[in-house]
Amino acid sequence: MKMSPQSAPHWALLSRPLILWGDVGGQKTLRSYWKNYFEKTDTLVWVVDATDRLRVDDCRQELAGLLLEERLMGATLLVFLNKTDVEHCMGEDEVRERLDLDLIKTHKWTILPCSAMTGKNLTEGLEWVVQDAKDRLFLY
């Protein structure tokens, strides 16, 4: 599936296993609408542009705020570090530190370097989401 930055929410139904995938853009003008899509969210997939060091602080603040949302309690977090195929991009350790990921104790999380252009680790990320859902299936 090919997805590009969205100015409006985009939904796709992925099968085997069944996943409803929503892409809500990260532009500042859309952030006030994010709360409309939190209900029954099992996993939050947070995509970080590995080439954009200037926006990482904003990214950290937005993520920290989202993780405080009551309707996202219990949701796991997959951080996709996108554009890792680009030279001089941020690495996993830099993003982990700059987003304060190691301080997150309220949500299970993982970080995966990826490339939307080459497909690197996209399947692995979805497999992590599915396995996490299976692991939690009988916890509720």
Q: What residue numbers does the annotated binding site for GTP cover?
A: 26, 82-85
131 a catalytic residue: no
Q: Where are the chain's structural domains? A: 42-116
Which pTM does this prediction carry?
Answer: 0.79
Distance from chain centroid for Cα 41: 12
Q: What is the pLDDT along the chain (140 residues), one digit of tens a residue?
A: 444 444 444 444 445 555 555 555 555 655 455 565 566 788 888 999 999 999 999 999 999 998 998 888 988 999 999 999 999 999 999 999 999 999 999 999 999 999 999 999 999 998 999 889 888 876 55
Q: The domain 42-116: what is its CATH number?
A: 3.40.50.300
The answer to whether residues 121 and 114 touch, using CB atoms and an 8 Å cutoff, is yes
Catalytic hit among 6, 27, 61, 131: 27
The answer to whether residues 45 and 82 touch, using CB atoms and an 8 Å cutoff, is no
Residue 96 CA neighbour count, 13 Å, CB half: 9
